[in-house]
Amino acid sequence: MVTVIIVNWNGGEHLHRCLRSLLNSTVTFPVKVIVVDNGSLDGSREQAAAQFPEILVLNTGANLGFGRANNFARPYVRTPLVLFLNPDTLLYQDTLEKAVRSLLSRPRVGILGCQSRCADGTVRELGLQWFPTPARVFLELLGGKLLWRRPIAQWLPRHDPQRSGPVQKLYGGFMLCRKEALDAAGWFDERYFMYAEDVDLSRTVRKLGWELYYDAECAIVHIGGATSDKAPTGFSVLMQLRSNNQMIEKYQGRWAARRHRLAVGLAAAIRLTVLGITRLLGKKLMPLMSLPWESAWCRSLLLWQWAWHRREANIPTAPENRDTLR
């Protein structure tokens, strides 16, 4: 048996389509579905409860973030396998069956991830297979898309998304976990609001002796940003910075967290300088960024402001009474 946990915040039609694809899956085992709603105001919680009476819908009463909301469902999980799934994903009919069979065929694997595709079918890259340090964050911010091109990519810990195999970390869009490994790890670390709790869980599970496995034969469609786009402007960038800083402080100490801010500030200053020269000379060439000039400038400015404590992520909240709809 598998319990699927979906954390929703104003997911709208994305949540509806995700649930429909999930319930239309061809499987040979029972599947329990839990939607944990973070105080949505768009009616998606009520719609899910009305249209899918077979699922359990929980209302947390506020926007708890990703990790804490998944932990909110922990008392309701009685199955040996747990799938954490984003509401802006679509499963192919055989995705769940393939993923479960793949996990069960590998007894030492604690968490299994699958191939993530864009709406146009493009396969998404996996993040670099290392954990954040000030120097690595600086390199990623400064290098941008260049890090994925030859000959640079061959010197970095990259995993080919077209190839199955063991990995160092997986991401929360689709994480199929053994409950045994989850319980040993204590589920998600609730210090993170979002964006780092899945990487931290990957690290903890591996430290406990389990393996992580990426299966390119299973796939989902991941729209990406469908929920965070409804958050305040700059929220996604600022929250990623905050979460990385929290992870660095957790494992490397307070001084490393301060160096991380300095690294972000230095990378932002270089990016802004290059962008300014690019604009001044009227060139459209952007060697360090792949975004349009205005977007790249705004993002770099956010990095600079965060580094000097002038901007922080404002967590969108919607307090309500907790309840169970189904």
- Please write the tens of the pLDDT for every residue from 143-160: 877 676 667 767 888 899
Asked whether 38 and 7 are in contact (CB, 8 A), the reply is: yes
pLDDT band at 315 (very low <50, low <70, confident <90, very high): confident
**Alpha-carbon distance 67 to 218, whole Å?**
24
Q: Which residues have C-beta within 8 Å of that of residue 326, sequence separation ≥ 6?
A: 49, 53, 55, 56, 57
| pTM, full prediction | 0.90
| Res 84 pLDDT > 60 | yes
Residue-wise pLDDT for 98-143, tens only, equals 999 999 999 999 999 999 999 998 999 888 899 999 999 999 998 8
> Which residue carries 């790249």 as its tokens?
296
| Res 15 pLDDT > 80 | yes
Greater confidence, 225 or 268? 268
| Res 190 pLDDT > 70 | yes
What are 154's two structure tokens?
């061959």
Pairing of strands 89-91, 2-8: unpaired
> Which residue carries 């954040």 as its tokens?
132
**pLDDT recorded at residue 284:** 52
| Res 175 pLDDT > 80 | yes
Of 192, 216, 187, the closest CA to residue 202 belongs to: 187
**Alpha-carbon distance 240 to 43, whole Å?**
27
Amino acid at residue number 110: G
**Alpha-carbon distance 100 to 269, whole Å?**
46
Q: What's domain 2-124+161-228's superfamily in CATH?
A: Spore Coat Polysaccharide Biosynthesis Protein SpsA; Chain A (3.90.550.10)
Residue-wise pLDDT for 271-300, tens only, equals 999 888 887 776 555 554 556 778 888 999
**Alpha-carbon distance 85 to 87, whole Å?**
7
pLDDT band at 196 (very low <50, low <70, confident <90, very high): very high
Q: What is the mean pLDDT of residues 83-100?
A: 96
Q: Of all residues in the chain, what percent carry a pLDDT higher than 90?
A: 74
- Domain limits, CATH 3.90.550.10, in the chain: 2-124+161-228
**pLDDT recorded at residue 227:** 57
**pLDDT recorded at residue 230:** 54
| Helix 254-281 × helix 134-143 angle, to 10° | 20
